[in-house]
Structure 1
Amino acid sequence: MAGSDTSQLCRDADAFIFDIDGTLLNTHDLVHYRALNLAMREAYGVDTTIDGVPYHGMTDLSILRASVALAGVTGLEFEAKLPEALGVVRREVEQNSATLDPKVCDGIPETLEKLQRKGKLLGVASGNLETVGWHKVAAAGLRSFFSFGFFSDHSERRADIFRNAVREVKQRCGSEARVCFVGDTPADIEAARESGANIVSVCSGTYKREELMAFAPDLCLKSCMELQEWL
């Protein structure tokens, strides 16, 4: 996409919806990691970790499903015990939220402040469970910027989470409202495309520019520090 077109795309968007991990912040603690591992042990009786799964860009539900499958848990057993597993994750993150240690990604506060001044609707769409996601955002000092959020509690597919977020924007701003997602993984690009929205990719997570560009986002930036130039 040409630079002028991309700039217009960003300026014309009525709402910006941000992924959390790798986009808004990166965590320097093991709270979420340990909660997922403990959930598998308590709910499914398997002493394993999520390390065998390429979890960047995956939802909490899909991470749990893939991890316990590697330990021999069937799909039926996974579904039957999923409410218990999710309860463990929520409990553990809630109890240990004071030890969350997120590092806000470059340019995020400045970008959110600029978008807020311009009257843009701001939300989050994350593969985290809702309790997990909001605790991370709050620990990073960013909660006040966001009017709404959609998470993986009832949506295993990221595209469904994004679609729900787009629906929320259109309910608030009208059926012609334009939505731009900001994310750091190929999964964010694919989910945005499936939901009919635009996507700005940032290299503030684990993926490099060339890896993200292979999925053809509308714009690919080093970080949200650069996004301010397009607003």
Structure 2
Amino acid sequence: MPQLCPTSPIRPSVAMTQAPAIQADAYFFDIDGTLLVTRDLVQWNALHQAMLEVFGVDTTIEGLPYHGKTDVAILRAAVARCGVTPSIFDAGIEQMLAVVRREAQLSLRNKLLGVASGNLEAVGWSKLTSAGLRKFFAMGSFGDACELRTAIFDNAVAMARKLIGSGCTVCFIGDTPDDILAARYVNAKVVAVSTGTFEVPELLRLNPDACCRSCADLLGQLQ
């Protein structure tokens, strides 16, 4: 595991619904334990909105098995838990897909999205391509040339500044204490998500800007 500088800026952190929205110009996501667990953040929000608008059910796809399943199959299972029959679901498919397309286009518009991962670049992009997420990310900082996570994050900040400008605000999203420490080391914002090995209390000890339990919580933090 990469060693991190033990001296990092400490700022007060907030958890879940108490947290204000985190505003940044660029967001960098970890891959393993974060993106590949929460799946497609944009699509998650879009699916939730589609179920709410078309079928009137305020539910999520949390807890549903999704490996090997299409989004339509996942939606069918999610609304079925709320009593939506197959015939009602089939009648609303076209309207629902229109909502999904609209929401996906609106989500995080005008924001630069990237990945910051210890994976080798070819491996990282391959994972995201297989998960259907590659198209959402404009750039990535990987472990090919940077063994330390702090260096990976520092490189990501440099990438964002080159594209947006020296005054841009960068936020990292990750699921480990190392992600929090590395973000602090490069003077960036950080949102921790307990989608991996570490629970919320463990992550909060390192004072991230916000800490979320799930993808649904995370979506509410990013603007």
Same fold (TM over 0.5): yes
2:136 to 132, 142, 145: 145
Name the CA distance, whole Å, in 2 between partners of 1:139 and 1:15: 23
Name the CA distance, whole Å, in 2 between partners of 1:108 and 1:117: 8
Which is bigger in relative contact order (C-alpha 8 A, separation at least 6)? Answer: 2
Q: 2:170 maps to what in 1?
A: 179
Shift, 1:204, TM fit? 0.7
Please list the CA deviations of residues 24-78 of structure 1 after superposition, one character each: whole Å capped at 9, or x if unmatched: 014xxxxxxxxxxxxxxxxxxxxxxxxxxxxxxxxxxxxxxxxxxxxxxxxxxxx
Q: 1:216 to 1:223 in 2, by over 3 A?
A: same
1:162 to 149, 153, 159: 153
Please list the CA deviations of residues 95-128 of structure 1 after superposition, one character each: whole Å capped at 9, or x if unmatched: xxxxxxxxx5484633694785431100000000
Q: 2:26 maps to what in 1?
A: 15
Give structure 1 regions of 4+ aligned residues with deviation exceeding 3 angstroms.
1-6, 104-117
What is the TM-score with the length of structure 1 in the denominator?
0.60
Name the CA distance, whole Å, in 1 between partners of 2:13 and 2:155: 29
Secondary structure (helix, strand or coil) at the match of 2:152 reads helix
Q: Note the residue ranges of structure 2 that are not aligned, 5 or more in a row.
A: 1-11, 47-103
Name the CA distance, whole Å, in 1 between partners of 2:188 and 2:18: 15
The structure where helix makes up a greater share of residues is 1
- Across the aligned residues of Structure 1 and Structure 2, the Cα RMSD in angstroms comes to 2.4
Aligned-residue identity in percent:
47
Residue 24, structure 1, aligned to residue 35, structure 2: yes
1:214 to 197, 205, 208: 205
Q: Note the residue ranges of structure 1 that are not aligned, 5 or more in a row.
A: 27-103
Residue 190, structure 1, aligned to residue 181, structure 2: yes
2:125 to 113, 134, 142: 134
Superposed, 1:67-82 pairs within 5 Å as none
Name the CA distance, whole Å, in 1 between partners of 2:107 and 2:19: 20
Name the CA distance, whole Å, in 1 between partners of 2:106 and 2:198: 25
